[in-house]
């Protein structure tokens, strides 16, 4: 009976490993789909405005921000897939170090995208556009 129990345990471990691998691949696929769909939608919207001659600097900035947000969300989901794969499947020191390097690279990319989206360094105060600021908070009173 011990041999049968070992076989059952091995089969359960193989099933778990397969399930986790499929889950990680599904999460990676989700990230790719989100990135591709968001970029396609943003591009179609921008090109339609460009062809209608309604595109300006603000439209282009909005397009860049939508693409950056899609990439940022995709990177975050890819990191989640890497964590699941590393922790659940092979938590060896080498795999954890590779995961750490991947997370570091993706964190840097994510930070760069946030700088791109916000158009400022994190230590700079937020920019105010025309109509924003101290007087804009009371604009509802004047309507």
Domain boundaries, the chain: 16-118
Q: Give 77-113 pLDDT, tens digit per residue.
A: 999 998 888 888 778 888 889 889 988 998 888 888 8
This model's pTM is above 0.85: no
CB-neighbour burial class of residue 86 (10 A; exposed 0-12, middle 13-18, buried 19+): buried
In this predicted structure, what is the pLDDT of residue 3? Answer: 67
Distance CA 84, CA 82 (A): 5
């Amino acid at each position: 009976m011990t041999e049968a129990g070992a076989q059952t345990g091995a089969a359960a471990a193989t099933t778990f490993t397969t399930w986790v691998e499929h889950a990680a691949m599904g999460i990676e696929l989700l990230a790719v789909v989100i990135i591709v769909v968001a970029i396609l939608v943003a591009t179609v919207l921008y090109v339609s405005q460009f062809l209608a001659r309604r595109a300006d600097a603000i439209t282009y900035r909005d397009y860049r921000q939508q693409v950056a947000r899609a990439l940022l969300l995709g990177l975050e989901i890819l990191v989640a897939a890497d964590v699941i794969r590393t922790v659940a499947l092979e938590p060896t020191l080498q795999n954890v170090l590779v995961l750490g390097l991947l997370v570091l690279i993706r964190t840097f990319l994510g930070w760069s995208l946030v700088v791109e989206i916000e158009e400022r360094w994190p230590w700079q105060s937020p920019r105010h556009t025309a109509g924003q600021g101290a007087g804009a908070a009371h604009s509802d009173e004047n309507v």
